Structure 1
């Protein structure tokens, strides 16, 4: 009997409430159907940043253990190597050894060396088939580091109709169809790692125009409506407080250039909708092949929404990042880089982001963003669809879980053990545990959860979360009554703060967290600042 297929869909920089089934006004019918027919989580957590989340998702380890503590900067020996090490084993390696056909369509971003094939490339870490990008982001019309197998695939983007989100979906569909035609009895593992909706804001004009009017009322009104829908969907309980608008951002009524601001959010939303369409194509391919019912499909995001402005740093320095920023468009036009009303995002010759205020909408109801380990940086949509898996379809699970738990759960679903060795070397045991019982409405007690990224740190034990924003003091929140982290109770519970801080320190030592001060000092010696250290 064939083992279940496994499909993991990862969005890039998508906020907690962007999907329709998580309260968003963005139209995501295909993902919504998977979520509402399957199981959604209300307290699923990523690691707050792109590469660390991908490393943790694929290995079941904390990112620091895999060599990916920040991004893919190579900072050995004092800092993180920035490349996937040989102490971990990926989901693709485990599943391929168990007879699965494996495919990555989309973004990798787990290797510091992106020009010469090496042991940290997907083709060397368990993927039979790879089409995608090795770098962290880039143009949707002409993405840098586009690779097929281990060969440069940039020529494929010369097709005037090329759009990266569509190309990822097409590769995934072709993989499913190929397996159904040539190896119907072999299970498949498909990892769809979209770059959408990470900046730059790129979308075909009809997609943007189709969203006319959706965001015209602005971020204040839309945050309130999302909050109501989150409660109506059952994702958050009635009485959950909506955090105030980011204090650095103006009220919508006071915004100049409202039309341009709306255009930014429409383009972002168009990116999410295009991704949803791609997911729908893959679901239909699985259905046509008779494989949908016994496919474990997971959809999630790698971190909270991004407040990042463009260009990052000085414009001329930013233009040197040729892996993410083309010098010119495919037809020779100069790129217009930056967030200013003269640049209406969407076309190939623009390179912009949607800004902090819209990211605050995407993360409704939470504070903070990507890179922070407050809820806005790490709380993610997470859903599982598996009709043949005896899941509690239509349910919402409140158990707090995090990325290290995903691989153990997938292996539990398909009946595969995690190995003790790989490539002739011992590998670290899984840090997480299977939450399959929770998907079937069976009780699981919560376990402590831990985070660290660029000095920002947190631990959650049951209802209590201890968190700090580097270099500030610890804050303490009772998430059972204050999910949006509005009332800091640290001063009222000093003993609990000390106990949780000690737990965090012992965890950090065990998994190899390098103090952020050490990394900052390393970059200062190179004449570089905090932003360069953070990647």
Structure 2
């Protein structure tokens, strides 16, 4: 199957010359390329941010949306590591990861920093890496702080800088992952301002929150402690209504799915045994909970909100540094999440101490399916599924010198595989034909550069998803989707993006045709052992 590359358009329309994009220059001068900052949250729901309809206070990220554009139909791959490899390669994760893991030996990949360095970019990474088979320090970054411990937000045991292991963080040291990830990013920016101020930079900030365990500074938790006592049913409806007024969505509010949870979750009795009687294992009606459950569940959502709030606070520090460097206006900033909110409920790391304050280091709590459904409002299901709740993400792009619109929405359908082609397009980067004698895989995504100027559709044939047997395909406004071992469903997303009216039975021919496209493409990018 082909992927149609959209033609390049000058950012502010055909009347704008390319010289404006890269700065006025003579033929002999090097172009002045924009700085690039990508900020990725971990397990943040589609509607958690204030600028996407949420009640969580995110003024700094909201300011980026007010100064730029928000995409209403942008997608990830539904899981942590799969999205990250697609983000930096422009490839569907099956194909890229098989190359990195040595299972596919007929091609090579180039990651985004490796494409930017020949243009003079300095490249920096801080936070989660999670690209299996590769180390950040080996794939084009000049500096990298790689946090490998995803079970401890206050005292991680595994982390490294520039490939060198760092000592475990001691409890009580004041460390918190989101702040520490930002600290390293600021360290690299300050060094850049001191030593490389005439060169552009790429900074990839990969936060590990609000992924479980639910850990947040106590002052942030206190801010939200009682905010969610009205429960996920009432507040979800309010979010949905607000989103419709904002123009983010125009679809029904999907019902809760009380019977669908990740198969690896602990049974509810086991959760209550290890955590306490306030725990709840399913997205049931809020009014069916006991008073103790309501209080405990509201506290968990308060911690999740505090984690998102802290991300925003740290983004504010990054923006202050860009302002101090005088480069904010010519920096492209992208904000997104790696998948939808998570319904997972497991206990890892140092286990869970039920006597410790919720959200503190000795605890290990997960958001759970009730609040995950809320965070993914108005969509169905969660992280790891290919229904909209698992794959829809906010996507904000701010670039004062390159995007004229302020606070505008973009309804073009985009995907994380489009980020590399877009940045290649706006920087005039080149993808090499081969590396070490192997052909370099060309991105499956397309450039979104045209949509920076206008709310226009992106020319592509389809988007493809598969993860642990869950699968989907979107062609135009039509989408087929299936849970692992389940039947294919068909939805018209133009009318029903919340996937409430399954048309597969009434439109069997269309369903069959799209299944044929999915199957054919799966055979090209997935190894036979992974095709289902």
SS at match of 1:232: helix
| Alignment match, 1:2 | 32
Residues 445 and 4 of structure 1, relative CA distance in 2, 3 Å threshold:
closer
SS at match of 1:465: strand
1:157 shift after superposition: 5.2
Distance in 2, matches of 1:460 and 1:446, equals 13
TM alignment of 1:159-308, pairs within 5 A: 160-237=173-250, 240-248=251-259, 249-256=283-290, 257=292, 258-308=294-344
Residues 353 and 344 of structure 1, relative CA distance in 2, 3 Å threshold:
farther
Distance in 2, matches of 1:250 and 1:476, equals 26
Residues 466 and 103 of structure 1, relative CA distance in 2, 3 Å threshold:
same
Give the count of matched residue pairs: 476
SS at match of 1:399: strand
2:73 matched to 1:43? yes
TM alignment of 1:243-392, pairs within 5 A: 243-248=254-259, 249-256=283-290, 257=292, 258-311=294-347, 318=348, 325-326=349-350, 335-336=351-352, 344-392=357-405
Distance in 1, matches of 2:56 and 2:437, equals 47
Distance in 1, matches of 2:230 and 2:169, equals 40
TM-score (norm 2): 0.85
SS at match of 2:401: helix
| Alignment match, 1:56 | 86
Match of 1:128 among 127, 133, 142: 142
TM alignment of 1:493-504, pairs within 5 A: 493-504=507-518
Q: Deviations over 1:444-470 (max 9, x none)?
A: 344211111111111111111011111
Whether contact under 8 Å (2:472, 2:479) holds in the other structure is yes
Of 411-420 and 459-468, the range deviating more from structure 2: 411-420
Residues 442 and 245 of structure 1, relative CA distance in 2, 3 Å threshold:
closer
SS at match of 2:335: strand
Distance in 2, matches of 1:502 and 1:56, equals 24
Distance in 2, matches of 1:504 and 1:51, equals 22
2:434 matched to 1:421? yes
| Alignment match, 1:458 | 472
2:105 matched to 1:92? no
| Alignment match, 1:25 | 55
Distance in 2, matches of 1:90 and 1:243, equals 37
Whether contact under 8 Å (2:157, 2:168) holds in the other structure is no
2:424 matched to 1:408? no
Distance in 2, matches of 1:304 and 1:108, equals 18
Whether contact under 8 Å (1:52, 1:68) holds in the other structure is no
Q: CA RMSD in A?
A: 2.1
Distance in 2, matches of 1:382 and 1:428, equals 25
1:216 shift after superposition: 1.5
Distance in 1, matches of 2:248 and 2:527, equals 32
| Alignment match, 1:332 | none
Whether contact under 8 Å (2:107, 2:441) holds in the other structure is no
2:125 matched to 1:104? yes
Distance in 2, matches of 1:468 and 1:336, equals 34
Distance in 1, matches of 2:371 and 2:356, equals 17
1:260 shift after superposition: 1.1
Distance in 2, matches of 1:413 and 1:462, equals 25
1:134 shift after superposition: 3.3
1:191 shift after superposition: 0.3
1:233 shift after superposition: 1.8
Residues 219 and 6 of structure 1, relative CA distance in 2, 3 Å threshold:
same
Whether contact under 8 Å (1:446, 1:461) holds in the other structure is no
TM-score (norm 1): 0.85
Whether contact under 8 Å (2:70, 2:409) holds in the other structure is yes
Distance in 2, matches of 1:190 and 1:101, equals 9
1:285 shift after superposition: 0.4
Whether contact under 8 Å (1:138, 1:144) holds in the other structure is no
Whether contact under 8 Å (2:410, 2:455) holds in the other structure is no
Distance in 1, matches of 2:515 and 2:369, equals 30
Distance in 2, matches of 1:31 and 1:310, equals 30
Distance in 1, matches of 2:65 and 2:529, equals 38
Of 440-449 and 194-203, the range deviating more from structure 2: 440-449
